[in-house]
Structure 1
């Protein structure tokens, strides 16, 4: 695991990797750095298959257990806690949360939610999200071939507490073309800034709810 905790950290994001690239992939490194610039600590970790150098992805129960273990480690930092990750890592985190709440996690953030395989639009991969009871943030590119935006919006519209942030011209790797007028680094900064603002709101809402609950006793 890799913990990156800036001096002025105000929350921690347990950040899972995608299917084909581990926690040390340049995207994961750069995203962690961009989040650190916003005061967000990150805990990166690897699923067993990635640690063992295998191509075959672990079965969901194994992935879910790895996520719970990472969240438990992250909770030791005693910061407001969030979880999620890139592509498959984010989707598996949401599955774990839908089966049984991840202890202490205030919200989930998905960096490119893989709604469906490329060229095969569908929403089956999102059916479990109805059982997620914490706020969710979807960070999605307009050129992501694993998430038709119209379908994703229809899914999000049916959820109790979900936010969609669309990144113009970004693909599934959040790469933007030269003609977009922006760089990939600027996109990463946008992702981190958006996460930070959403996390701050979520923490505030959670605190208000806790205060109201305490006052009603």
Structure 2
């Protein structure tokens, strides 16, 4: 069974406040928009509009991930485009994705991109085997509700590490740990966690 651990510092409701108009998802550095978890989420969350978007480098056929400024600008542009297509304000769009994609979405929000919340799947807290190289500097500037779902054996961040460091986020945080490593094979617990988090909204 997945373990769910709301952040002890979260005083506000953990779910997004108000109606969510859509979910915009970005893939990890080594994958594309058709990653099985992203596809499964789109199918399971219907009729909620879910859009899966590649980063520019992947769309151009490059294997190396885009530099952060390029990726963040892409997140912001695609979020605004998705909101316009749905006829809503950008603050009604959930942003997120797997690993690098979720991290770039969180950095975009930290830099001021409006969002209803963040869905961070397998957040890469640090490179494997290098727990001193934390990717957390921007987290205090994230002031929206956050759901973080990671594998219990993820080498990019243990449950204890993620629980401790994601507490720096300025908004309410819910952490859920599911069986698996950085790329859990079973999408069902991930889908269940996202659907449960969205239910009050």
TM-score (norm 1): 0.75
Q: Matched residues in 1 for 2:119 and 2:133: separation?
A: 18
1:212 corresponds in structure 2 to: none
> Match for residue 165 of structure 1?
176
The whole-number CA distance in structure 1 between the counterparts of 2:133 and 2:96 is 19
Is the 2:29–2:64 contact (alpha carbons within 8 Å) kept by the matching residues of 1? no
1:1-217 correspondence to structure 2 within 5 Å: 11-36=21-46, 39-76=47-84, 77-78=86-87, 80-100=92-112, 102-103=113-114, 105-122=115-132, 124-160=134-170, 161-167=172-178, 169-175=179-185, 184=186, 188-201=187-200, 203=201
Q: For 1:132 and 1:125, how far apart are their aligned partners in 2?
A: 13
- The residue number in structure 1 matching 2:10 is none
**Of the two structures, which has the highest relative contact order with CA contacts closer than 8 Å and spacing of 6 or more?**
2
Q: Deviations over 1:89-119 (max 9, x none)?
A: 000111111111x23x110010110111111
- Tell me, yes or no, if the aligned pair for 1:115 and 1:122 is still in contact at 8 Å: no
Q: How many residues align?
A: 178
Question: 1:91, 1:114 within 8 Å by CA — same for their partners in 2?
Answer: yes
Q: 1:78 Cα shift? A: 4.0
Between Structure 1 and Structure 2, whose CA radius of gyration is higher? 1
- Cα deviation, residue 123, structure 1: 6.0
Greater Cα offset, 50-59 or 156-165: 156-165
- Aligned equivalents of 1:25 and 1:135: distance in 2? 24
Contact residue 143 and residue 169 of structure 2 kept, 8 A: no
**Gaps (5+ residues) in structure 2?**
1-18
Contact kept, 8 Å, 1:123 with 1:151, in 2: the verdict is no
Residue 133 of structure 1, CA deviation: 0.9
Which of structure 1's runs of 4+ aligned residues deviate more than 4 A?
none
